[in-house]
Amino acid sequence: MSNSKKIAGGVCAPEGFAAGATGAGIKTGKVLRDDIAVVWSEAPSVSAATFTTNKVKAAPVLVSAEHLKAGRNRAVILNSGNANACTGEQGMKDARAMADAAGALLELSAKEVLVCSTGRIGVAMPMDRVLKGIAALHPSRSGSKAAAAAIMTSDTFAKEFAVEVTGKNGKFRIGGIAKGAGMIDPNMATMLCVVTTDAALPQAVLRKELKRSVANSFNRITVDGDMSTNDTVILLANGLSGAAPDLGDFSAALDEVTRALAHMIVKDGEGVSRFVEVEVTGAMTEKEARTAAEAIANSTLVKCAWAGGDPNWGRILDAVGYCGIRMNEAKTDIFYDKLAAVEGGMAAKTRIAKLCAIAARKAFKVTVALNLGKADYHVWTTDLTEEYVRLNLGE
């Protein structure tokens, strides 16, 4: 078993990574806020990334996918305030120009740079300001927090996390920054995340590991069921720790980082007052367990009930019933934490006040036991509050 401990430094915690941020005036408002960030490996690195599955992909996603092909990327240039989505040919030119400018700054080829944008859709990037901003960046070993803050949109806090692992084959570090807020759904809705490591791993392993870890973290969170045009998770590994870690050690540590960042994104969802794990057990297949978990987690009525501290199991059972999976009402149990709310499709003997006490907490777990097969799945989600609606009434 490896020994992992949480450390400071975020995306710059691993050896040889630097980050920085600046305000280029892309975000509008009275106060100039940082809206451009960079993450950079001083040494050569290998890279992997996963992108949104939305058929409408923003220009930076298309350009990053192109640049990722060689798997030798060393830097990521990011901006908030403008998503550079639905911007046609001009958007592609602008995303490429961002990679060019970051490459010039860091003495890399444009192809070594990945590009991430988040913010307003359908508006041209103010490229004069963007390019001036990129030229003004000064990445440093202490720049993680500033970079994490610069990519925030409606996020209320900057998200970073890092661990140091003492494993079988030596010591290595993994760190990351992320942004989320609204529009968070499985398959990576509006979220950006950059993870770095000084472990030495072949690119093929890195790619496989990132895919696996994203499936267990960012693809299991949902705030509102919507999914964006810009989502990207990037992993850079420069090997500077000298450790070629045991794969099990690396997997566990990577999951720790991605899960921590995913949970921060859910907890910072727009107007969120409750963090809920929804687990479905005993389904016939994992796909069916997932369908049911996501139907519950995305049910407007279930989420509204939670916002009111109401353990309304009728709405949960209803969602399981309409989501299309195989289920038998008379075999279905529902639990709030470990307390039975439903047994065999009917109200359990538990006093309702006890269930209400759990639903009133800031965080709880709902388990639906279908008692049919052996497949399980869980997702992390939130309630739906009046505050959420207020925040999304328009821009």
**Which of these, 188, 246, 236, lies nearest to 61 by C-alpha position?**
188
Residue pair 261/161 in contact by the 8 Å Cβ criterion: yes
Q: How far is CA 366 from CA 21, 276, 333, 381, in A?
A: 40, 7, 11, 11
Q: Which is nearer to a copy of itself, 59 or 68 (CB)?
A: 59
Least Å from the CB of residue 278 to a copy of itself: 15
Binding residue (CB under 8 A) for a copy of itself from 27, 67, 74, 120: 120
Q: Which is nearer to a copy of itself, 244 or 360 (CB)?
A: 360
Indicate whether 228 belongs to the interface with a copy of itself (CB under 8 A): yes
Contacts of 296 (CB under 8 A, 6+ apart): 278, 280, 302, 316, 319, 320, 366, 368
Interface with a copy of itself: number of residues (CB under 8 A): 62
Stretch that binds a copy of itself, among 2-10, 94-102, 129-137, 345-353 (CB under 8 A): 345-353
Point out the catalytic residue in the list 52, 190, 229, 367. Answer: 190
User: Rounded distance, CA 183 to CA 190, Å?
Assistant: 6
Angular region, 282: left φ>0, alpha ψ -120 to 50, beta rest: left
**Contact letters for a copy of itself, residues 75-104 (x by CB under 8 A):** --------x-xxxx----------------
**Which of these, 155, 156, 256, lies nearest to 209 by C-alpha position?**
256
Q: Is 190 a catalytic residue?
A: yes
Indicate whether 44 belongs to the interface with a copy of itself (CB under 8 A): no
| H-only helix segments in 268-384 | 286-298, 300-307, 313-322, 352-359
Indicate whether 315 belongs to the interface with a copy of itself (CB under 8 A): yes
Binding residue (CB under 8 A) for a copy of itself from 25, 126, 345, 373: 345
Indicate whether 202 belongs to the interface with a copy of itself (CB under 8 A): no
Give the H or E element holding residue 215. helix 203-215
Indicate whether 361 belongs to the interface with a copy of itself (CB under 8 A): no
**Which of these, 319, 318, 268, lies nearest to 295 by C-alpha position?**
319
Residue by residue, DSSP assigns 170-203 as EEEEEEEEEE--SS--TTT-S-EEEEEE-S---H
Restricted to residues 261-300, the positions that interact with a copy of itself (CB under 8 A) are: 298-300
Indicate whether 309 belongs to the interface with a copy of itself (CB under 8 A): yes
Residue pair 83/52 in contact by the 8 Å Cβ criterion: no
**Contact letters for a copy of itself, residues 370-389 (x by CB under 8 A):** --------------xxx-xx
Count of residues in the chain: 395
Indicate whether 301 belongs to the interface with a copy of itself (CB under 8 A): yes
Stretch that binds a copy of itself, among 25-33, 178-186, 197-205, 240-248 (CB under 8 A): 178-186
Restricted to residues 121-160, the positions that interact with a copy of itself (CB under 8 A) are: 121-123
Binding residue (CB under 8 A) for a copy of itself from 71, 170, 321, 373: 321
Sign of the dihedral through C-alpha 234, 239, 244, 246: negative
Query: Phi and psi for 296 in degrees, rounded to 5?
Result: -65, -50
**Contact letters for a copy of itself, residues 237-266 (x by CB under 8 A):** ------------------------------
Q: Which is nearer to a copy of itself, 59 or 253 (CB)?
A: 59
Q: How many CB atoms lie within 10 A of CB 42?
A: 15
Chain positions contacting a copy of itself, by CB under 8 A: 53-57, 83, 85-88, 120-123, 182-183, 185, 187, 224-229, 298-301, 304-305, 307-310, 312-315, 317-322, 327, 329-330, 342, 344-347, 384-386, 388-390, 392-395
- Which residues form the catalytic set? 190
